[in-house]
């Protein structure tokens, strides 16, 4: 349903605006709202984008900080980030995550931040798909409550598209790609640091 809704939105944008306009517009959603309903439509679209962005940031904060806290549990150099406070909030991890986000927002525009996020996150989506393929081959008799429709072909298609997308992005935007991979590499170095005790 989410995929279908996304595709319908893409079709709506392309029917209402040309591809040339979409590739150059600074705020295509606002432009679409303006074309459909004038100033009122533009305001509604801007509000919807703001609400969606806020929701996405909140989800990233709630889930991402717990990943950072888990890294603190596993990596001795980051032990200060582990654990939660009396309300169940990973406070130290949240402070670090918000601080890094604010620092990055001072030096980059939102579009560049989105680029860095895409390059940093999508390799892990691909690794998750690859892991699912390997697990199905290594443990075929394991009980699985969910079966991916069209598997394994849909999973292979996802992997191919992901690799193509990341390759294209690396070619077109090498700086955000290197920045993202550098942040991932720092996390891996911290995780692989010698354990004490």
For the stretch 50-96, pLDDT in tens is 998 889 888 888 888 998 898 888 877 788 888 888 888 899 999 98
Determine, yes or no, domain membership for 193: yes
Determine, yes or no, domain membership for 140: yes
Q: In the block, which residue shows the tokens 């991979």?
A: 181
Determine, yes or no, domain membership for 176: yes
Task: Provide the domain count of the chain.
Answer: 1
Give the range of the structural domain holding residue 182, as residue numbers without chain letter.
110-197
Determine, yes or no, domain membership for 33: no
Determine, yes or no, domain membership for 135: yes
Determine, yes or no, domain membership for 116: yes
> Is the pTM value of this prediction over 0.75?
no
pLDDT surpasses 70 at 147: yes
Q: Which is more confident, 179 or 154?
A: 154
Determine, yes or no, domain membership for 74: no
- CB within 8 Å of 154: residues ≥ 6 apart: 148
Torsion over CA: 14, 17, 20, 21 (sign)? negative
Determine, yes or no, domain membership for 127: yes
At 172, list the tokens: 């077109």
């Amino acid at each position: 349903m989410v995929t279908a809704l996304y595709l319908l939105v893409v079709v709506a944008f392309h029917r209402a605006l040309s591809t040339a306009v979409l590739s150059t517009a600074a705020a295509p959603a606002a432009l679409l709202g303006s074309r459909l309903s004038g100033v009122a439509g533009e305001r509604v679209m801007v509000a919807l984008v703001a609400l969606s962005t806020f929701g996405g940031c909140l989800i990233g904060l709630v889930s991402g900080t717990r990943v950072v806290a888990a890294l603190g549990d596993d990596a001795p150099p980051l032990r200060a980030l582990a654990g939660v406070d009396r309300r169940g909030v990973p406070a130290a991890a949240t402070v670090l995550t918000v601080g890094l986000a604010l620092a990055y927002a001072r030096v980059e525009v939102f579009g560049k931040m989105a680029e860095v996020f895409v390059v940093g996150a999508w390799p892990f989506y691909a690794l998750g798909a690859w892991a699912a393929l390997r697990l199905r081959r290594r443990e075929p008799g394991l009980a699985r409550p969910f079966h991916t429709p069209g598997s394994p072909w849909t999973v292979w298609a996802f992997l191919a598209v992901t690799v193509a997308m990341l390759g294209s992005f690396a070619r077109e935007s090498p700086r955000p790609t290197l920045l993202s991979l550098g942040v991932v590499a720092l996390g891996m170095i911290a995780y692989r640091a010698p354990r004490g005790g």
